[in-house]
Amino acid sequence: MTLLLAVFLAGSLLLPALIRWLGARAFAVGALIPAIAFVHALLLTPQVLDPASIPYESFPWIPQLGLNLSMRMTPLSWVMTLIVTGVGALVLFYCRWYFFDEGREVGQFAGVLLGFAGAMYGLVLTDDLIMLVMFWEITSILSYLLIGHYRRRAASRRAALQALLVTTLGGLVLFVGAIILTVVAGTSSITALLADPPSGALVNAAIVMLLVGAVSKSAIFPFHFWLPGAMAAPTPVSAYLHAAAMVKAGIYLIALFAPVFGNAGPWRPIVVSLGVFTMLLGGIQALRETDLKRILAFGTVSQLGFFAVVIGFGTQAAALGGLALVIGHALFKSALFLIVGVIDRQLSTRDIRELSGVGRQAPVMATTAFISVASMMGIAPTIGFVAKESSLTALLDAAQAGEPWGLVALIGVILGSMLTAAYGTRFLWGAFWTKRDRSGDRMPDTAWPDPPVGFLSAPILLAGATIGVGIAAPALDIMVHAYAVTAPDDGVGPGHLALWHGFEPALAISILSILIGIGIFLLSRRTGWDAKPRLLPFTAADVYYLVMRGVDRLSVLTTTLTQRGSLPIYVGTIFVVFIAAEATALVMTGTPQAMQLSAWHTPAQIVVAPIMAAAGIVAVRARKRYTGVVLVSVTGLGMVVLFATSGAPDLALTQILVETVTMVTFALVLRRLPSRMGEHNASVGRLPRALLAIGAGATMALVAIVATQARITDPISAAFPQLAYELGHGKNVVNVALVDLRGWDTMGELSVLVLAATGVASLVFVSHRADLLSSTRALPAATRRRGDRRPLIETVDGPRFQTPENRSGNRAWLIGSQQQKPENRSILLEVIVRILFHTIIVVSIYLLFAGHNGPGGGFAGGLVAGMALVMRYIAGGRWELGAAAPTDAGRLLGAGLILAVGDAVVPLFFGLAPLQSVVWEADVPVLGHLEFVSSTIFDIGVYLVVIGLVLDVLRSLGAEVDRQTAALRERGVRI
């Protein structure tokens, strides 16, 4: 099972490439994966039936939390697996014809659809409640992509976002409920929870949260409105997600916990009341729709309410009938959706007012639809008839036993069954009947082009299975019975599934509801009720959009009040909150009993600290921007001295590099600002600012004093030297901690660096962030020839290679400098950069690899390489930067992050912990004994990310600003 889950993942990644090669025919190849999973589940049937040999696999995931990647195939999950994989295989096969004219443009759709099938496969088989929530959220995200496939259509985008918000909101509530259950029960194993279910008020709250997640996913009131809107998706998505798979996830969750929580206080009232109301609401609205897909969508909403009532009722008989209903619905509703897809593709319409006489022209498709609708109504010999009769019998027994909610459920199901027959008849009439216009004349038949045989194969197979499973009800009863007996025995027993139980009350109720339902349809047509405006002035969808507009307006109001565009206000707010929060904590916790303070630790502090303080005070008084920046940097350079004299050479090296890069960044930004600060930049309210500064400094000093004196146990860092040597195989404790012992923290910091680089680029680049302005392709042709070692010289016609004829020209030390104006060039700087650039790059690589046992590391090495790029840019401008780094900064950022993540993930495949280091040792002739630690790969990722960040800053604040300035000057704008 776990291997098949991995195959689903690999297939979803490879299928887009296969689509580009084979076109829509690759869907048939993708269908093989769920088909194999379907066959695998069938082969496991004997083991599933034997409680002693239930298929089970488990792999540790987070042992410290007791979370495992575990999968168990119980009778319930066996049924759901067959639905997910069987219908999934047919839908993917159907896509081969549905997308025949879109060809290679549906690669992403194909991969996401197969990935969704894999996520559902994992959801119904996982035996860990937390893993179930994870698969739950994955299906929400993938369904968002599938519903929004036609991303150029506003309706598709709105529907996708609506479905995502609703199901994700329910998923978050479900997650909280799952955490509560896990904590109370002491385990996240679903098997353990079902074997020994907890109880109490906290558990009841968790049950309500589980039901919120279930009803949101299964489109049960008040979350029903997202499902009809999702009909903007391609029809295969509707057939799979909204008939067989995604909406069944909530029903599966109800079925999973109904046997143990069905008698809990909040369970039955919530499930029955919401289910009955949803069944009636969906049935009434389906009678008023003119779009075939929306008729089926509201019909699905109604049916989901039906399932929630029956399978969630919590008795053995109801569990038996409810699970049979789920099987029948997956077969007949997915077949009907696929038939609508055929009609839509052949006629480019789904409007029943435009369809007439299709049934006589397409008898095979019409017969398939009739069989599916017959199963939906509950007509023999379909599985729908078997399931409906069993469900009615279960509710009838509960009502006769005096169960009040049993009577409510029975009446609701009977009324809902009438509406099901009514909208089922409306669907058949709308899609296949010959109609008459308003004057009573017969409408001309809609021209019907016959579809390919393969296009109809999937719905025909599903309709055939609807009858086949109905006839084979006794065989199905064996599997469904194994699930039903997990519910409490109410004295009646589960009963059994059969095509004929004889003449009994349930049969009479079923026949009567079908006849009345057909009468309701005829009456609605005769009175014109189905064409009248909506009954209420608003719908649930209107409420949703009203809430969303309210959220948007509240966001605008909040932004208007808080985002004033004033940096001093933002910084001041941060400091005020900091002082208030930390002062409160200091007052509440008190101070340590014995405080040991020293005036200084090294003599250097006596000299450096006053200089840093004086520079800070003078910086406040500075009237020139650059002067203020330089004075602020004095404090940073003072920290370099403090680090170096305190035995932290790594920190000193990193600090001086950071200060240098920061100074360059400030210099790039200040180019576009006046050198002196004007009157409007002067400090306003100096006294409050001074008090705020003193308060922030004093609070930070107290926090440092209290924090260092409040430790009651030995710090874990005391063990870092030994851990760094034994686990990380390195002597530089700082670097080994960053890439090994505290690797996850560094991973987060890398993500922040990538976000920072992206943010800087987004603020400067207007239309795109691709580096098109400093590409070497923009240089003269002579400068782009490779392999030619001749020096460049300047001529009246531009830079050319030196020849005996033009040897008197000026030599070009840097390629990009040729594009700069002569007055902006410095031959001395060009020479120095030409000589030192490669040396500095070599030094950066040395620091990268030497950092494991000495000062250095990926961060320091990356900053040194970044400084080399800064030198090239300063000496030769943006063109020289393009020649020095002829690649996009985003590629370096991405490559570095991939290396870091890969170094964390790869050990998992070998049974090791994430980021666990491995050392390779070898004795090499001449070179001697060599060692390579796998964490070096992580450090290389850090190295590339830092270079990418510096390059992005130079490209954004340097090269792009240069380009914008040049463009303004060309237009005559004075700068």
Residues 6+ apart with CB under 8 A from 756: 949
* Burial (CB count within 10 angstroms: exposed 0-12, middle 13-18, buried 19+), residue 3: exposed
Distance between CA atoms of 275 and 293, rounded to whole angstroms? 22
Nearest CA among 957, 892, 568, 907 for reference residue 760: 957
Token readout for 475 is 């065989």
Q: How far apart are CA 166 and CA 160, in angstroms?
A: 10
Tokens standing for 130?
Answer: 């937390």
How many Å is the Cα radius of gyration of the chain? 35
Other beta carbons less than 10 A from residue 690's beta carbon: 12
Please state whether beta strands 798-801 and 810-812 pair in parallel, antiparallel, or not at all (unpaired). Answer: unpaired
Q: State how far the Cα of 595 lies from the Cα of 262, in Å rounded to an integer.
A: 60
- Beta-carbon contacts of 635 under 8 Å, excluding residues fewer than 6 positions away, are 612, 615, 616
The first and second tokens of residue 607, run together, are: 């000299």
Tell the residue number behind the tokens 């923009």, with chain if given.
Answer: 778
Classified as helix, coil or strand, 931 is strand
Residue 854 phi/psi, 5-degree rounding, is -145, 180
3-class secondary-structure state, position 522:
helix
**Lookup: tokens for 352:** 């029943």
How is 232-300 classified by DSSP, letter by letter?
A: GS-HHHHHHHTTTSHHHHHHHHHHHHHHHHTTSTTHHHHHHHHHHHHHHHHHHHHTT--BHHHHHHHHH
Q: 284 burial class (0-12, 13-18, 19+ CB within 10 angstroms)?
A: middle
Give me the residue label for tokens 């390195």. Answer: 730
CA distance 300 to 239: 11
Cβ contact 259:224 at 8 Å: no
Concatenate the DSSP letters of all residues of 793-807 into one string.
EEETTEEEE--GGGT
Residue 809 tokens, joined? 């020209």
Cα–Cα distance measured from residue 653 to residue 663, given in angstroms and rounded to the nearest whole number: 16
Give the C-alpha separation, 733 to 720, whole Å.
7
Tell me the one-letter amino acid at 791. Answer: P
Number of residues that make up the chain: 975
Percentages of the chain per state (helix, strand, coil), in multiples of 5 = 70, 5, 25
Q: Which residue has the tokens 């020994």?
A: 196
* Nearest residue to 19 via CA among 111, 91, 119, 146: 111
Residue 751 has a pLDDT of 86
Dihedral of the alpha carbons of 811, 817, 821, 827, in degrees to the nearest 10: -50
Output the pLDDT for position 103. Answer: 63
**Local mean pLDDT, 10-residue blocks, the chain (975 residues):** 91 90 88 95 91 87 78 93 94 90 80 94 93 94 92 89 93 94 90 90 93 93 89 89 86 93 89 94 91 92 94 91 93 93 90 89 93 94 93 91 88 94 94 80 85 89 93 89 86 82 88 94 87 72 89 90 80 91 82 69 87 87 84 88 85 86 82 69 71 90 82 78 81 84 84 82 62 45 44 46 46 64 76 88 91 86 90 82 81 89 84 80 80 87 90 82 74 67
Residue type, 915: L
Task: Name the β-bridge partners of 351.
Answer: 291
pLDDT of residue 805: 46
From CA 198, how far away is CA 207, in angstroms rounded? 11
Taking residue 903's Cβ as centre, other Cβ atoms within 10 Å add up to 25
- Tell me which DSSP letter residue 378 carries: T
Confidence (pLDDT) at 533:
64
Phi and psi of 391, rounded to 5°? Answer: -65, -45
Nearest to 247 by CA among 463, 392, 80: 80
**319/297 Cα distance (integer angstroms):** 25
Supply 962's token pair. Answer: 């240069």
Residue 390: CB atoms within 10 A of its CB come to 29
Residue 848 tokens read as 């990268």
pLDDT tens profile 743-779: 888 888 888 888 888 777 777 665 555 554 444 444 4
Sheet holding 798-801, edge to edge: 798-801, 792-795, 810-812
The residues facing 924 across adjacent strands are 928
Positive or negative CA dihedral for 509, 512, 517, 523?
negative
CA pair distance 119, 132, nearest whole angstrom: 10
Nearest to 114 by CA among 93, 137, 83, 136: 93
pTM, two decimal places? 0.74
Write down the pLDDT at residue 791. 44
Q: What is the Cα–Cα distance from 220 to 216, expressed in whole angstroms?
A: 6
Distances (CA, A) of 405 to 28, 318, 346, 358: 47, 13, 47, 44
Q: What is the pLDDT of residue 857?
A: 87
d(CA 574, CA 562): 12
- List CB contacts of 651: < 8 A, sequence separation 6 or more: 643, 734
- Please state, in angstroms and rounded to a whole number, the distance separating the CA atoms of residues 198 and 213: 20
The two three-digit tokens of residue 310, written as one number: 């029956």
